[in-house]
């Protein structure tokens, strides 16, 4: 069997030591899980951003004669039961089932349950990366949770723009996931890969 097996997550070719998922993808999802957990993790910061009046802009709530402002919905639906915690616990139950373990018990408040679920998922991650048929779905779901949490806590950095130089000399700003760009100077249309193959524009002095 000499055909190069491909990672089920990123389709890179696998090394002999890798069964179905490459090390980079396994490390990526482990890092995503760790980003969610702990007192400084994204989940804890979601709870912080739930406090009424926190964040920028909103009017002060106390003393108002109208109903207090509802908490922001994004963080709430992620932080509540049924949000991140339940998604991770559902995966854990699935993995325990496959391994023939007894159904896991959840202890403590939601933050403690989240930390517990993350810890157990990390412990079983090497097994899941090698054996779980839907490990790619797990990876994309966890990446989605991290992405949504960062967006809800206002941490999402805008996509990084790079300046590339059109053949006419004009600088075009593109993101790495660009759908293509049209030069306003010479009207040349570039597809995504063409745009990213243009030479980098010289950086202006900051
Ligand atoms: Zn991979
Ligand atoms: Zn041009």
The answer to whether the pTM exceeds 0.95 is: no
Q: What is the mean pLDDT of each run of 10 residues along the chain (206 residues)?
A: 76 88 92 94 86 48 48 72 91 96 93 97 97 94 91 72 90 85 94 87 58
For the CA of 188, the nearest ligand: 2
pLDDT score, position 200: 84
Q: What's the chain's length in residues?
A: 206
Cα-to-centroid distance, 201 and ligand 2 (Å):
12
For the CA of 181, the nearest ligand: 2
Cα-to-centroid distance, 52 and ligand 2 (Å):
49
Q: Per the structure block, which two tokens stand in for 135?
A: 């490990």
d(CA 120, CA 92): 8
pLDDT score, position 184: 93
């Amino acid at each position: 069997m000499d055909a190069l097996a491909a990672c089920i997550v990123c389709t890179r070719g696998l090394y002999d030591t890798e069964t179905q998922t490459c090390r980079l993808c396994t490390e990526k999802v482990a890092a995503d899980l760790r980003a969610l957990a702990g007192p400084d993790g994204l989940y804890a910061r979601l709870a912080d951003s739930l406090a009424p009046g926190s964040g920028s802009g909103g009017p002060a709530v106390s003393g108002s004669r109208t109903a207090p402002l509802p908490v922001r919905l994004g963080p709430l639906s992620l932080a509540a039961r049924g949000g991140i915690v339940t998604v991770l616990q559902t995966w854990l139950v699935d993995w325990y089932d496959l391994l023939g373990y007894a159904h896991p018990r959840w202890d403590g408040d939601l933050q403690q349950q989240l930390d517990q679920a993350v810890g157990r998922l990390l412990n079983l991650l090497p097994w899941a990366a090698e054996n779980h048929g839907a490990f790619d779905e797990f990876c994309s779901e966890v990446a989605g949770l991290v992405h949504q949490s960062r967006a809800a806590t206002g941490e999402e950095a805008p996509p990084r723009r790079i300046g590339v130089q059109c053949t006419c000399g004009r600088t075009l700003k593109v993101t790495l996931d660009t759908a293509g760009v049209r030069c306003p100077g010479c009207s040349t249309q570039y597809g995504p890969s063409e745009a990213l193959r243009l030479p980098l524009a010289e950086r202006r002095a900051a």
